[in-house]
Amino acid sequence: MNQIKQIHGFVLRNGVDDIQALVLQLIHLPSPNLRYAHALLLSHPSPPSTFLYNKLFQAYARGGGGGASFEPCAELFASMRRSPNPHTFVFLFSACAAFARPGHGRAIHARFLLSGFPFDAFVATALLDLYAKSGLLDSARRVFDEMPTRDVALWNSMIRGYSRYGDLDKARELFDAMPFRNVISWTSMVSGYTQNSRYEEAINVFSRMWEEGEVKPNEVTLASVLPACAHLGAMELGMKIEAYVRNNGMLRNVFVCNALLEMFAKCGDIEHAKKVFDEMGVIRNLCSYNTMIMGLAVHGKWHESLELFQEMQARGISPDDITLVGVLLACTHGGLVDEGQIIFDSMEKDFRITPKLEHYGCMVDLLGRAGYIKEAYSLITSMPMEPDSVIWGALLGACSFHRDVQLAEIAAEFLYKLEPWNSGNLVILSNVYASSGRWASVVNVWRLMKGKQHRKSAGYSIIELDGNMHKFLVEDKSHPQFEEIYTLLDEITMSMRRFGYKPNRNLQVES
């Protein structure tokens, strides 16, 4: 930067016109100095080229290293002393999208229409992307529909817009209609389904992509589908993805590795998760440690979880609120009441983290499991925020285990207000009454459930086969191969009867 200022001083003293080189150097610094470049451009006696204006607009669109705002960009366009060209509008639309300024974008769109420039694919894609990112999907769709020819980038921008705002059906409609798809197209659908918790569809789209084989998944695709595998327990597909990652040298990508960690941990293979974590080496970040600390805690390896917490701090990585949820969870699984209380009490002092609802929930669970029911209830009543159903549910569960009828009734009352549809809470309360011999209260609870027509949601099973997820409900006929499935089940039942098996049809399944 000092060298650039020296060159600028030399230019001013000697009357040399070298503004283009100076502006480009300022823009391409590791931390671009857009303020200096902006002032230099406006102070030049002769109007700088449109090319230079465009380069500065482009730098603003990229965020200027995180320190820029949109206002200087708008001011520069307003005071532009050269006529804009189509590239000017492309960069301005991108800047409006980057800074979430759809109002300015509409004004610039109107200015573009008055300019008479052709509405080519680059302009259309930038404008559509602006409207889609701003949630103006109707405007984006009008741009899309008005284009006589559409390249794959335009299709992808429209699909991403629908996916971003949860309209996956329209996104899928466009996706299926595309004449040509690239890896961004597939990834947009996979990530859209995953981000909107439609995990089965995310896996189905990914599996179709893999089976067709025309487009290979990249790191973003894999980091998008692995969370879906984690939520559905699709370990078979997760293992195939891990093999693909290793064979294609993607194990150096921290996002893919973190997604693998989460998948293995949530699918129950914590040892495999530890192996990936160890192989990551220096690329491990806070997310990596958080995933492992949480995973080890959930799998009962609380001692290793707490050791990893100490290692993380020794390496200079500061914990965040998610880390401390994992640490408190480890204390819960280890029954470490004193240690958990010390960590909870020191959150603000040692880590400058204000306890959130999740941290209070962990403490209520920790105290409740250890039998400190009254202390857990006291903590709930002293919380600076309203307790949610998870916190009252933790207290009710502890009351059920330790047979505390009085506090169970209080917890159940709050849960009934928060979750009137959840019959499971009333079932737990009736179990507390039953364990204390209060049969009249049991009858009253079941009478309440019957009167309110509480019904449990139908349970279902998910089976993974060849990377595809198959969902089954009781007496389900929604599966495309249900006739073959029931035929095979009948054959199995007949074979079992030949060997003397008699099904007991009088068995009752308790809630």
264 and 327 assigned to the same domain:
no
Separation between Cα atoms, residue 310 and residue 304, nearest integer Å: 10
- At residue 34, the pLDDT reads 81
Say if residue 316's pLDDT is above 90. Answer: yes
Q: Is residue 465 part of a domain?
A: no
pLDDT digits (tens, 9 = 90+) for 436-473: 888 888 888 888 777 665 555 555 566 656 555 666 66
Mean pLDDT value of segment 497-503:
69
**Residue 61: band (very low, low, confident or very high) from pLDDT cuts 50, 70, 90:** confident
- At residue 398, the pLDDT reads 93
Q: Which has more pLDDT, 67 or 418?
A: 418
Which of the listed residues 284, 315, 333 is the one where a domain comes to its end? 284
Q: Is residue 22 part of a domain?
A: no
Q: What is the pTM of this model?
A: 0.77
- At residue 466, the pLDDT reads 57
Q: Is residue 46 part of a domain?
A: no
Which of the listed residues 284, 311, 331 is the one where a domain comes to its end? 284
310 and 258 assigned to the same domain:
no
Say if residue 192's pLDDT is above 60. Answer: yes
Mean pLDDT value of segment 135-162:
92
Total structural domains within the chain:
2
- At residue 503, the pLDDT reads 59
**Residue 484: band (very low, low, confident or very high) from pLDDT cuts 50, 70, 90:** confident
Domain that holds residue 208: 200-284
217 and 255 assigned to the same domain:
yes
Which of 24-33, 456-465, 476-485 is modeled with the greatest confidence? 24-33
- At residue 8, the pLDDT reads 47
Say if residue 311's pLDDT is above 90. Answer: yes
- At residue 68, the pLDDT reads 60
Which of 111-125, 371-385, 491-505 is modeled with the greatest confidence? 371-385
- At residue 279, the pLDDT reads 95
Q: Phi first, then psi: what are they for 468, rounded to 5°?
A: -105, 145
- At residue 16, the pLDDT reads 43
User: What is the average pLDDT value for the chain, to the nearest integer?
Assistant: 86
pLDDT digits (tens, 9 = 90+) for 100-132: 899 999 999 999 999 989 888 899 999 999 999
Separation between Cα atoms, residue 313 and residue 36, nearest integer Å: 40
Helix segments in 178-283, DSSP class H? 183-195, 199-212, 219-232, 235-247, 254-266, 270-280
- At residue 10, the pLDDT reads 42
C-alpha angle with apex 380: 377 to 383, nearest 5 degrees? Answer: 155
Q: Is residue 267 part of a domain?
A: yes
Q: Is residue 320 part of a domain?
A: yes
363 contact partners, CB below 8 Å, separation of at least 6: 328, 340, 341, 344, 376, 379
Q: Is residue 328 part of a domain?
A: yes
Mean pLDDT value of segment 46-70:
77
279 and 314 assigned to the same domain:
no
- At residue 507, the pLDDT reads 41
224 and 277 assigned to the same domain:
yes
Q: Which has more pLDDT, 36 or 222?
A: 222
Burial 201-225 (b: 16+ CB within 10 A, else e): bbbbbbbebbeeeebebbbbbbbbb
315 and 273 assigned to the same domain:
no
**Residue 23: band (very low, low, confident or very high) from pLDDT cuts 50, 70, 90:** confident
Which of the listed residues 350, 377, 392 is the one where a domain comes to its end? 350
Neighbours of 78 (CB within 10 A): 7
pLDDT digits (tens, 9 = 90+) for 245-286: 999 999 999 999 999 999 999 999 999 999 999 999 999 999
C-alpha angle with apex 180: 174 to 183, nearest 5 degrees? Answer: 90
- Cβ(361)–Cβ(391) below 8 Å: yes
**Residue 423: band (very low, low, confident or very high) from pLDDT cuts 50, 70, 90:** confident
- At residue 12, the pLDDT reads 43
Q: Is residue 319 part of a domain?
A: yes
- Give the SS3 label for residue 96: helix
Q: Is residue 218 part of a domain?
A: yes
Element (H, E) at 170: helix 168-177
- Cβ(340)–Cβ(375) below 8 Å: no
233 and 209 assigned to the same domain:
yes
Q: What percent of the chain has pLDDT over 90?
A: 59
Say if residue 380's pLDDT is above 60. Answer: yes
